[in-house]
A and B are shown apart, each in its own frame.
Chain A
Amino acid sequence: MTAISRTGLNRRTLMAGAAAGVLAAPHVSRGQGKEPIKIGMPTVLSGRFTVVGDSARGAAGLAIDAFNAAGGLDGRMIELVARDDKARPDEAARVVRELLNADGCHLLISSSTTAGAFAIQEVVRETGHLCIQTISETSSLTADPKIRLPNVFRGARQVVHDAIAGASYAAKVAKERGLKKWMTNSPDFAYGRDATGQFVESLKKIAPDTTIIGEAWPKFMAPDYTESLTQVLTSKPDALFTAHSGGDIVAFMDQAKLYNIFDKVPMFTPNLADLTSIKQIKKLPPDVRSGTRYLATYPDTAANHDWHDAYVKRNGGEPSNWSWETAAGTAFLLEAIKKTKSIDGKVLAEALRGMTIDSPFGIGGKLTMRAEDQTLINYAIGWGSVLAEPPYLKNIQDTDWSEIFHYETEWKKSKGFI
């Protein structure tokens, strides 16, 4: 056996490699000596939320690889500099300053959790750098004019959109099944309160006979949900809404199984239909309804299947909701760079406002960055019944974006945002 075959290389592989080298050579030589375009990515790379950072880095890396392979920006390659903010806002503020001032990053993709995202918002308020927020779904980040900034765009879904989609679906199920008495059980932090409050507000508008008979707010990342679960047992609601996510929703459902709570009470959540969560549930109750976070089969298009496969091939794990959000945000940024041939934040911001791009995650294969509040719209949201096996969600009902826009406008007016 030759040395070459022992290393797994054969003549065909070598020829393919040589061909790739020849094809890439013009781009490589053109890019040599040119300063790379640095994109800083503060994100969570340690602790319980590592999945956020891994998802975001993997998705942005996939998009940037393709951009660089196509020659970059006139030969200038993009370099992604990801750094751990430890899911702490103060550390996020420090890290983003470091990325801008010490590492010389030109642009930012903020893939920090909500608290970090708001801290980063304050840093770029001062520095003026262009920043794409790809993880924080908290509505006020872009909806509240006091917090929104001209140099910050959201490439992620938004709580108010999910709340309206969930409430619309829940209202239909409630009408069919006579579900009037609801309970909520959500984590006591910004996202949990935001998601639950907006779901309840929307549900009461769409189904006015809804009453909330109890609400529980266990601590975020609580190890024990016994107290709030026994509250469900004694209150006997018709249905329960929860905004727990990630490892929390897995722990919550596993502990609820001890009391067989969800054998009798249908559960609604925007956060379960995500490959990183659903696969962790040991035994799924019979009647759980969820919104689509990320599934390879929703939207059920060739583009989404291809993106899923490419992601798995590059990163080795399944993509999550945070992956598609970061992929979408990065795609907008790269498209703006290509279109303007610039990395000037103001030029890019002007191009991004109102931009529509082809995307596997959009309704009809299109995503739009709404100009008025610089946030992502027209992404695919569906709700259905959760399955323990692939495709994980059945009877998916697509949400009509005109309904989202209608209730979102009402919500913004009620908050004094418009």
Chain B
Amino acid sequence: MTARLELILGAVFAAVLIAIGLSLGDKAVIDVLMRLSIFSLLALSLNILVGYTGLVSFGHAMFFGFGAYVFGLLMQTNAISIPAAAAVTLLATCVWGAVSGALCIRLTEIYFSFLTLAFQMLLYSVIAGWVSLTGGDQGLMGGIPRPPFLGIDLAQPRQLFVLTVIVSVLSALAIRQIVQSPFGYALRMIRDNAERARFLGVPVQRYKLQAFVLSGIFGSLAGILMSLYVSGAYPNFAFWTLSGDAIIMIVLGGITVFLGPVLGAVLFQFLNDYINRITEHHGMVMGVVLLVIVLGLRKGVLDVLDEWRQSRKPRPEAAP
């Protein structure tokens, strides 16, 4: 699929989502679509590391929380516009990602995972402990101001919805371009055999760090959107459970197909919301449902479908 076709399909997809949300005019639908957009972006950003680079991060939510808090704090100064605050936040994420990533990517496998978790818990402790700045366990209080910019008023839920969908879809397209680029294929090579990649001249550590930072930037962007949506930022945004949720989304939807994390985010949020509505024993029910899906399929939903599709393709004739 060409880049132009993907862009057109992305635009059509965004238009359909926006049309559904606005035409129904139902606040509940808009709420659901916004949350799905944000969590899809979070899962897609994590999949740059997990699916394409083979680095399982247990601490990805630190970027989500980092983005939400830095953006929220900047906006609460009432001295900066939304685009400027978002730009500064993403820049700060680059720095934070580069510093933490430089240490994390020196390790592999479970050691990498635990170091990312350690960085996440470090950030979480700062957020929970620095009460005068962050509000501690109560989160950022007083709301996040949303002054209009370029004729866009994000204090209006519909405009916030449209912007959230557009930013999420554009981010997804950008991630798609990244993983389809030569850089993306180098990441796959690193995932499959880092030693071979190194012998072939791929700067493995540099590419890993770049993947780490890029993944963090999109995770941070999801955090910015979330802080705008809930008009606040909470320590749970940077807690390990949210990183766990993001991993489950990827596992549910599939890591080998680009849209797998998006489907996983949709399934996970649907299950979470539905089960929470019908029972107070949601933890147990959710656990059983996930267990059945994971043990039953042994792969993500789109992974299974992709395998099935591949198996139906006619095999090339053997050479005589």
Contact = CB atoms under 8 A, between A and B. Distances in A.
Interface of A: 45-46, 83-84, 88-91, 93-95, 97-98, 100-102, 114-115, 118-119, 121-123, 125-126, 138, 140, 146-147, 188-190, 193, 220
Interface string B130-171: 010001111101110000000000010100000000000000
A114 B35 contact: no
B276 A123 contact: no
A128 to B, nearest CB: 12
Interface residues of B, number: 33
A119 B236 CA distance: 12
* Interface of A, helix, strand, loop or mixed by DSSP: helix
B280 A45 contact: yes
A98 B138 contact: no
B237 interface: yes
Given A93-B232, A115-B137, A125 B143 contact: yes
Nearest to B34: A97
Interface string B8-52: 000000000000000000111011000100000000000000000
B71 interface: no
A122 B137 contact: no
B188 interface: no
Contact of B276 (A84, A115, A189): A84
A138 B138 contact: yes
Given A125-B143, A190-B136, A119 B230 contact: yes
Contacts of A146: 141-142
A122 B138 CA distance: 11
A58 to B, nearest CB: 14
B280 A46 contact: yes
Main secondary structure on B side of the interface with A: helix
Contacts of A90: 230, 234, 236-237
B28 A101 contact: yes
A177 to B, nearest CB: 34
21 contacts: A83-B277, A84-B282, A88-B234, A93-B230, A97-B27, A98-B28, A98-B277, A101-B27, A114-B137, A115-B139, A115-B234, A118-B135, A119-B139, A119-B230, A122-B230, A140-B141, A189-B136, A189-B137, A193-B131, A193-B136, A220-B137
Given A90-B236, A189-B136, A98 B230 contact: no
B273 interface: yes
Most A CB atoms within 10 A — which of B31, B137, B141? B137
A190 B230 contact: no
A45 B276 CA distance: 10
A390 to B, nearest CB: 31
A97 to B, nearest CB: 5
B234 A98 contact: no
Nearest to A92: B234
Contacts of B155: 126
B236 A126 contact: no
A196 B234 CA distance: 23
Contacts of B31: 97-98, 101-102
Given A98-B28, A126-B231, A140-B141, 4 more contacts: A89-B232, A125-B143, A189-B128, A190-B131
A45 B235 CA distance: 21
Contacts of A89: 138-139, 232, 234-236
A83 B142 contact: no
A49 B137 CA distance: 16
A93 B30 CA distance: 15
